Amino acid sequence: MKLMERIAEMELKMQGTPVYSFDELMEMPEMPNNTQLYNLQDSDSNIHYIKDNFSFILWRVTPNGRISFVIENLAQRTYRVDIDPTRRFKDRHRHDYVELAYVCKGQLPMEISGNHYIFQRDEVFIIDRNCIHSEDLTNTDSAVVFLCMSETFFDEIFLSELQEEPLQEFIRMCLKKQKRIRQFMRFTPVSDNNQMYNLISQVVEEAESKRKGYDYLLKGLMMRIMDVLANSYQIQLSKLEKQRKDEILFQELEKYLHQKYKEVTIEELVLKYHYNADYFNRLIKKYTQLSFSQFLQTIRLSKAEEMLVASKLPVHQIIHEVGYQNKGYFYKIFVQRYGITPKEFRSRHKI
């Protein structure tokens, strides 16, 4: 079942449920045994706990000033709470777990470490343990999924040394840094796609059904979420971190072009990396002073040069192997670069 379908189902159930205040909800008998909503007052703020490695909350705020939610580990009961109009923000609190939130409808205003943010549809944010924050519950029509993970579970999925892709490695290092300074990370999609929505839907479905092997599937799905965050989302970074991310992206792009030079198109890059064509042209221009087509031409000519020197393939076959169909055009750009024809180049550089 897709996420918004699950939330619509929750809203239908909500219509027949009692309406509580937050204080009444906290006093309900089952709440002390619940892991997400049980609050322990201390000198700083309320603390929210989880007792398992993983849990989730489906959160729906309606324009009429009511909030409803489904909490795993409470037998999927739907709770409906009136929002006190005199209290714009939910009580400031912190977690003993790491929280990944996904906004699937509307927007979610929040206060995090004293700063105000508005998270838009399809954005993701990760809040570390002990980061003090609160949600703005007024003037909104929104739906949010909160994935709650113990620190051990989060570290195993997101911070393990098993991530081999450079972009994932970069995200992992950023997460480690953010954890050290008790902050959060914000991820903004670079294009419209349903990858994150579909993955979060699957996570909720598996966590609710608890079919055999679901715990392994959850870990696999969370690893895929990490991959999507690394490849399809922009991250709020410092100037230095942005520079490093650009370097990594260019290195990945250059590697891919050297592998796929024969038939690659900029449209293919857009589909693979989820950035638009203008972004790729700007990135390549930044590091090479060339456009995408000029950079690809340089790579193809370099490959042709290698084949002319190291192989006995006829020139017409080399032209085809490096991605050109027009022999006349190839000869023109080759002479422009090297000042001689391919045949003359081969003669001068025989091994």
**What is the pLDDT, as a whole number, of residue 318?**
95
Please give the model's pTM, rounded to 2 decimal places: 0.69
Range of the domain at 169: 3-235
**What is the pLDDT, as a whole number, of residue 40?**
37
Instruction: Flag whether 302 is in a domain.
Output: yes
- DSSP letter, residue 159: S
How many structural domains is the chain composed of? 2
Q: Which residues of 53-77 are buried (b: 16+ CB within 10 A; e: fewer)?
A: bbbbbbbbbbeeeebbbbbbbbeee
Burial-class residue 204 by CB neighbours within 10 Å (0-12, 13-18, 19+): buried
Whether residue 125 sits in one domain with residue 18: yes
- The candidate with the shortest Cα–Cα distance to 188, out of 239, 121, 234, 125, is 234
**What is the pLDDT, as a whole number, of residue 339?**
95
Range with lowest mean pLDDT among 201-205, 229-233, 308-312:
229-233
Looking up residue 223, the CATH number of its domain turns out to be 2.60.120.280
Concatenating the DSSP letter of every residue in 235-281 gives E---HHHHHHHHHHHHHHHHHHHHHHTTT--HHHHHHHH---HHHHH
Whether residue 312 sits in one domain with residue 335: yes
**What is the pLDDT, as a whole number, of residue 266?**
92
Instruction: Flag whether 91 is in a domain.
Output: yes
Whether residue 198 sits in one domain with residue 67: yes
Whether residue 275 sits in one domain with residue 157: no
Instruction: Flag whether 241 is in a domain.
Output: no
Looking up residue 254, the CATH number of its domain turns out to be 1.10.10.60
Domain boundary residue among 202, 235, 268?
Answer: 235
Domain boundary residue among 190, 207, 235?
Answer: 235
Instruction: Flag whether 71 is in a domain.
Output: yes
Residues 168-200 have pLDDT tens digits of 777 777 777 766 665 788 899 987 778 899 999
pLDDT higher than threshold 50 for residue 36: no
* pLDDT band, very low/low/confident/very high, at 264 (cuts 50, 70, 90): very high
The pLDDT of 313-317, averaged and rounded, is 94
Domain boundary residue among 214, 235, 256?
Answer: 235
Residues 83-108 have pLDDT tens digits of 555 555 567 888 888 899 999 989 98
Residues 207-236 have pLDDT tens digits of 888 888 888 899 999 989 988 887 788 877
